[in-house]
Structure formats: structure tokens, C-alpha cells
Structure 1
């Protein structure tokens, strides 16, 4: 039975937005219109600033600095309703969003901004041994494993087991993998040595594995080379050109080489949410819905798919990258399109992506920034990276909190969030 509040009346238009990531949030923030009701549906109650999630995983920031309750973000918007729920299907004919629990939601316009999860390229059995990094739960799991590895090594009576505990393998050398490897190496080399008595944390091995020929493949070769050199200076062993062929709780196999490691982190690939299956729509190899130039689903002008779960092409046929600035641009574009429709004006014909650059940090005082003609590296790039991320954080309090955490860490060499909490969701600890 459908709740009456979910049935559009004759004088209102009901927009349902599934997903409160960068794309969905940008859309709702940019769209107000008389008579328009907006319902946000998300399976979590918070918006997550994913570019800094690795800093939660590596003890620099607490979870509260990178996530904000969705309801609180829209507490002054009477036109916005937030629902905590999991979508299990879409009925396009009846225009209903079906939830795992509760009555279905009727919509006039539907926007799916449901993001992506990590892809293990057909080896989903690896997830338990090598968690990815897409949620707060993932971040606290990785933080727990990294910190517990040092704690267990401190009391281990076996030199072989101690070596395995002090070996950390990061798979995938995109920005997330590079950032994780760099911070784990700094943790071992500069932050923890004085805190342990039996082990020397500086003997830890951090291995970054990339199947392709170089790290940061989306960056120019000169910046990629700088990043690899900076990682090497931090003590990271970079292995390129060979793929991982197996992962277990005991370690990884790279080609035919077995590496004993008790902490393995996956940063090698992503796959889209089940949105394509819900819609019966055409999808690309990563499961992303192939959308039209205006980001709508072909044959369904009332349904839009944006962000990481959409396959969006530029006018020249090249894919729009799956990064936060692109998702936010798509959200704002759809907001403008819907405003034009509701006003009876011609909507824009196509989405045009404006590339705003690539950024990646390597440890505590080095980064690379690519703006095409302008490229930065080193400490200057690191400060630019930090300022850019603080600028894009939501809310003044969050900006101040993150800035203070970074300044404290930079000035003292100490990280503020080295707490072992919660159970390991991937190993089902209790």
C-alpha cells in the first residue's frame, strides 16, 4: 500500500533522488522550485566526503570530519524529505521506487545517483582478505587492520609471522592507492617508531602493486615519475607491470611471486551500483548505465542517472571521469534542466564536462597537481591539494576541524585518530 504522502498531487511535482553522494547532493542543493517536492533516499544517513576517506583509514582524521548527517544538511529545506532506505527495484511503468522495507515511493521524476563499489574483476572472494575503500565501514576496517598488525607484531614470538604482520600490500596505484601507501609508510617510518619496544616499525614493508606500467596512469608521465620517486623515498616498494593473481588471509600472489602479508588493501577498480539492472537499461563493462547527452535514460526522459553509476561521454566520445567534480557538475546540470522543464522553458540539450584538474597526495608534504598546462609537484602541490579539499568540505565547522587536524599532524608528526574500534566487517568479527 502506498503512503498518501508519496503520491504526487495535481499541483506538485515529486522528484525522488536515490543517493546522497556528490552528484545527488549537488542536484538537491541547486534545485528549488515552487510546488516541487524532493525526496532523498539513501541506505546510509550521512553524506561522505570520499576524497579524504583514506585519511580516516590511515588514522589522520576521525570519521566525524568526513561525514555529515543528510537530514542536518537540509534541515532548513521544508521541500526536502530524507528517507533512510535501501532501493531494491524500479517500476518504470508505474513510476515507483521499491524499497527493501516500507511502502514504495511514487515519483514524477527520478534521479539515480547511487555511486559505485569496488570491483574485484570476477574475484569477489578476495574482498574478505582485501577490503576496498568506499565507505566509513571500509575505512574503519582498514584502520583496524593496520593498527592491529603493529600490535600483533609487538607480541609475536615468530620472526616469520612478525615479518608478515609488518608487510602491507596496497593493490592499485591510482590516487587512492598512492595516498594509502604513502601514509602507511609515513605511519611506520615517522609516527610509530617511538611507541613500540619490541619491534622497530621502520622495518615494515609497504608494497604498492599496479598491473599497468606506471603509478597514477591518469596523470602526465612526468608527474607519475615524480610520484613513484616520492613513494620510494618514503620506503614504499612500487611493483608495476604485473597483476595480482590471488589473495588470501595469508598474503598475495603477484604473477608467480608469493608475498606473506596480513594486511592487504584493494584500490584497483570499481563497479557501478545495480541501477542498470533495476531499469533493464544498457550498461558498459563496469555496469554503469549508458545515458543520453542530457543524462537521461534513453526512452525514459523522466529518469536520470548521474555520478559514478552513469556512463557519460563527452562530445568527442571520450568518457567523463568518475571523480567528484564531474559528479557535482552532473548534479547541477540536471538541476538546471529540471528547473527549465518546470518553468516551461527549453532545457539544455547536453551535458558538457569542464575538467578542473587531477590531484593526488603522497605522504605528508608531497603531492602532484595536474591542470593541463599548469603542473605542480612537491610541497607547493601538497598545500594546494590541502586548501582545495578544505574549500570543498561541507560546512565551516568541518573545514576548521580538518584544517586543525592537518596542522596538528604536520607540526607534531602525530595522527589524531589512532583508535582501534568496532569489529572487522569483512572478517565478521564480533
Structure 2
């Protein structure tokens, strides 16, 4: 089916592949341009990836951080949405092929499809580890967490439970910190039968420090914050293999197997294998090579922005380069429509800084024109910026309510959970000393309330 033939746009047709930060920034910048736009994505929603770990650790609903892509038409009538996966590109005919024998013609093509998880060839990683790149990944981590805890509550008191996070970047640090806070602050109330000392949160990093792109001062602060939360931080440690029941690691030439109930893979990213079929020049990590205007090298009226692109100057794979790149390409397209493409200056990225959080009231921030920040000030900025950047007022409100409930009201231990399988007891249940003490305290409290005069 030819989608272009069914609509027959008379205006220049801009096709944008990917509804992430960069794709949406470009679409919105073309709101008043005399063009027809088709936005294509394999999902019907945009995912706010910086908060995926909050879904994975049961603090946010998946709907809080996803936004219906078709809603873009509410304020922009020159765009339509098409759900699909690009299987090939005919650059001569200017036509995309999608799954389901759908084809789409274009005058301008913008590839903003992002990247995917890089397992670096680690044996068993793709099969047994869970990445944190999609909404479904976060839900899988969350449900596996509670499955492990419920099973541990019935059958696991004779052994330890370990949650492993691989990768000491922002995602890894934030996930490990959230796991640790859940164990330290919530589980004594919600899982009193479990011995906290038997539940370990392990963060593995090959480098000698976490948060590599940050200043040494902020890296040291993050390490201290993780230590304070009793995260088992293992630096200079390589993952040699991931197995169904844990990970094999190596440090200083010595191998060790860490039994684990969950292995979260939070390392690097790479281009999706599908890009190999698009006949575009690819560089490091499979990223699409572009020039100083984000135009794909050697291909007319085709651009790439965001994580999938790699240009003359290396840019961080963050939201801001994608957003700024999208806006720049929109400027190039609008200038080209007027025959003034050569008047557009080369794309120049404006670095606004970066930040990461370790837990409640603990974060690090390197923000342009501000001193390096740690602790509560950095955390407040982190919360405000992430809530403000979310798409849609409903998402911002829901996220603010849930995060407030999590961090501001210490009496709340509610978790946003899904379904877990039934657990079959492997032996007769017994009451641990911790549970017995908790039961005694509850009985004494009830007696005191019933007879306050005593």
C-alpha cells in the first residue's frame, strides 16, 4: 500500500522517523511551515527515558512517562502519525518501506529513531539481562523485583538475594540508588519478614569510578552517596558472562560468580541492526554519519539527529543535542524551501549541562553558568527539570504527585506494582527473629492503646 498515494500531498512532504526528543522538536518547529509532515514510530507513544528507572523501581506509573504521539495533532494540523518500522529506504526514489508492505514517499527525510542497547558481545547478556531502554524493559524489571521478593519471603530465607546493576553511568547509578532506598526505607515496613542484611544491591563498573563524564568532585560525591545507602559498589570490575542465575565477573584477574535474582543492563547503546538495511553511511557504534547541518553524508535531503547521528564533532547522547539538532534541521528545511539553504550557519551545540540523582535529596549537577552542585540543591533542580521536560500537563501532574508521595511523605510506602506469579513453597515456612520482634511490638502497641491508663 502506498501511503503517499492515498494522501497525495501537494506541499513538500517531510517524513520524520522517530518520535523521541529530536523528532518531536523538529515536528513542532515546522508547525507553521508550508509542508506536510508524517511522523513514523514503532510505538504509538513517546517514552521519557530519563525516568524509566522510576518505573522500574515502582515509584511511577508507566503512563506517567509516556505520551500519546497522535496527540501532537492537537496543536498542529500539518502532521499525521503512522505506526510502523522502517525496513528499507530507496534514496533515489525517495521512498520508505515499512513492515506490512507499506511505502511512504518523501521530499525530506529526517532519521531520529534513536539507538538500542549495546551488550558489547558479552555472553548471555542479551538473553538473561534486562536493559532499561523501553517502557516494557522497566515493567519487566519492576515485576521481576516483586516476583523475587515474594519468592524470597517464602523460600529464600536460607540464602541471600542480590540485585545486580551493570554500568556506572547515570542510569546505573540512579537505578542502584533507587533499589537501595527501596530496600532500606520501604521493605522494613512492607516486607518485615525479610532480613535486610540478606538483600544486596550490587553496582558493577569497569572503570575506576562511576559517572565518568562528570567532574571528579561529583564522581566522589556519588560514590559516597552509594556507600551511604549500602550499595555494593564494585569498580574496575568486568562482566564476563551473564547467566540465568547471576553474573560472572572479573577483577584483577580473579573471577567470581555473583548469584542474582535480577541483572539490569545499564551500559552503552548502539544503532539498531535495522539501520544496516537503510543504505546510509555508518560510523562508530553504527551511528549515521552527518555533516555540519546534520545532513546525511552523500544523500540529498536526508538528515539524522539525536543519538543515531554522529557528526564532525562528537556530541553526548543526551536529550539536549537531539532537541537542538531537531530545531536546526527544521531551520535548514524552511530555508531550503525559500531557496536560502546556504544562509543557514552550521549547527553548534549549546551544552546546558548534565545531572544525575542517587536518591532522595542526593544528586549531582553540572549546569552551565552555575557552580557544580551536589546534595539537596542538585536534587531539587533535577526534580524540577525532569518534571518540566515531560510532555503533557497530565504527565507532569501525575509524576509530581507520585514523586511527592515517594519523597516528601515519609509515611507512605506504597509501590506501583503489577502482577507476579504464584509462589510454591519449597519447605515449611518459619518466622524469622525480625518478624517475631515486629509481632511483639504490634501486640504491645495494641495493648497500650487499649489501656492507656497503664
TM-score (norm 1): 0.92
Structure 1: any 5+ residue segments left out of the alignment? 424-430
Correspondence 1:184-223 to 2 at 5 A: 184-201=179-196, 203-223=198-218
Cα distance per residue 1:331-368 (max 9 Å; x no partner): 11111111111122234242111111110000122000
Q: Deviations over 1:14-40 (max 9, x none)?
A: 010010011101100111345410001
Structure 2: gaps (5+ residues): 422-454
Q: Give CA deviations for 1:272-320 in whole Å, capped at 9, x if unaligned.
A: 2346423323322311011111111111131001111111343xxxx10
2:442 maps to which residue? none
Q: What pairs with 1:5-404 in structure 2 (closer than 5 Å)?
A: 5=5, 11-123=10-122, 125-156=124-155, 159-160=158-159, 163=160, 166-201=161-196, 203-255=198-250, 256-274=255-273, 276-314=275-313, 319-346=314-341, 347-371=343-367, 374-404=371-401
C-alpha contact (below 8 Å) 1:295/1:305 kept by paired residues: yes
User: Secondary structure of 2:128's partner?
Assistant: coil
Change (3 A) 1:367 1:274: same
SS in 1 for 2:359: coil
Distance 2:367 2:41 in 1: 33
How far apart in 2 are the matches of 1:259 and 1:131?
A: 16
Kindly state the Cα deviation for residue 406 of structure 1 after the two structures are TM-superposed.
1.2
Q: Distance in 1 between matches of 2:240 and 2:345?
A: 45
Provide the rounded CA distance (Å) in 1 between the counterparts of 2:275 and 2:345: 23
| Whole-angstrom CA distance in 2 between matches of 1:66 and 1:342 | 35
Displacement after TM superposition at 1:6 (Å) = 5.5
> Distance in 1 between the 2:231 and 2:33 partners?
56
Aligned position for 2:437: none
* RMSD, aligned α-carbons: 1.8
Secondary structure at the counterpart of residue 362 of structure 1 = strand
After superposition, the Cα gap between the structure-2 partners of 1:275 and 1:299, relative to the gap in structure 1 and judged at 3 Å, is farther
Higher Rg = 2
Q: 1:306 and 1:6 mapped to 2: Cα distance?
A: 28
Matched length: 414
